[in-house]
A and B are shown apart, each in its own frame.
Chain A
């Protein structure tokens, strides 16, 4: 056991006792956290090499999908669907670890995290877009092409739609909630909590005109650091239990 976990206030020691049967979950979550880092790096590299047509129309996306389906899927954030699914064991692990510290807020954190995951999956119709791009390429008349473009525009609107923004806001909100709970325990370092808070605050940069995207990139950077810290700690806890 590391020095970080040797002393606990009353409710925190209970949190650790409760968590003793969860080592598999902690290992899985640690691996998931590292995979999240890998996904972000892959996404970042692909974004830099071949920037996506984020403000483009359906036809821009169809051309991209036809040119390179893998790049098309990555740009339509298929990997991010895997990302949010990998977040589920992490949320569950943090819930089991921290519920003894503050059951109310950790339970709300878990529910809102799950809601965010479902919203994000609904907001990323990557394979539908790939299918439509094939249909568009095979279309013979202008009328047929127009129909597939319309369907594609609906998918692009969904990509930028309500479910995405709700997921984004919930992601920031749940980050703040779990960080506040983390600050009340020695189970995680204060730095871990503050890094997540910084990430959540920077998330809202997206809504700032012009420089918003740059602020949001900082959020991603903090999140990568946080995931590494979380992975390390979860592996330690898995070994300890």
Chain B
């Protein structure tokens, strides 16, 4: 009688734990939708641009002018939305790690670490707010030497953190490697559909190629942008939607 009571208690504890962990799937699903919406916003805001600007070609003085005209344009162009995207993706990766914990826990855990590393490096080196700070100082500068100093400081910040330049290459590369790797884990795991996994592998590989070309071969930027980034972007959006749907299903099924 006593043993039965203990067993019942232990089972109810186990159920409680599973119930709480299944919330992670729901949180991950909502985060995947948020990440998708951030990417859609990025695309929609990009529609307003009249020309494709090759990253790394604007000087600090030109960036200061952009910030003075519209701080939002400056922040957006220097990747502030990417930060929201990366933070939103953390619960997604965590939910994917939890989903694959039994058979591919080590691989999914490594992917999680790589993505955390990418996010940390990207945020730490991002140029958006430092450039805003410098542009405000630049606007108040009264002498040429002050302005020259601020431009030099701006160039230093841009060299470290402008998107699709060698400075930000490692973080962007690690981010896409993590996305490709988790898609491979999904393919092997069988918890997510094969179509979902392949869309991720192809889509993020396109973005991986775009990152390399945009960073190191600026002459081919337009080809890479229309050829790889657009296809990769659409596939990535589809991947987010499918991942969100499956995570919602997992959340409901374990409930």
Contacts and interface: CB of A to CB of B under 8 A. Distances in A.
Interface in B114-140: 116, 119-120, 123-131, 133-134, 137
A65 B20 CA distance: 51
B59 to A, nearest CB: 14
A169 to B, nearest CB: 9
Given A104-B23, A108-B27, A157 B130 contact: yes
B13 A162 contact: no
Contact of A151 (B91, B116, B156): B156
Contacts of A147: 152
The B contact surface, by secondary structure, is: helix
Contacts of A161: 126, 129-130, 133
Tell which of B21, B23, B124, B148 has the most Cβ of chain A within 10 Å.
B124
A108 B90 contact: yes
B124 A119 contact: yes
A72 B137 CA distance: 21
Contacts of B133: 156-157, 160-161
Interface in B1-55: 9, 12-13, 16-17, 20-21, 23-24, 27
A154 interface: yes
Contacts of B87: 112, 115, 166, 170
Most buried by B among A102, A123, A150, A157: A157
A85 B116 CA distance: 17
B80 A162 contact: yes
Interface residues of B, number: 41
A153 B152 CA distance: 9
A118 B125 CA distance: 11
Given A11-B16, A151-B156, A108 B130 contact: no
Contacts of A166: 83, 87, 123
Task: Pick the most buried of B134, B149, B156: most chain A CB atoms within 10 A of its CB.
Answer: B149
A212 interface: no
A189 interface: no
A107 B24 contact: yes
B177 interface: no
A14 interface: yes
B17 A153 contact: no
Given A10-B9, A119-B123, A57 B137 contact: yes
Interface of A: 10-11, 14, 57-58, 100-105, 107-108, 111-112, 114-115, 118-119, 122-123, 142, 146-147, 149-154, 156-158, 160-166, 170
11 contacts: A10-B16, A11-B16, A11-B17, A14-B17, A104-B21, A108-B90, A156-B133, A157-B130, A157-B131, A160-B133, A166-B83
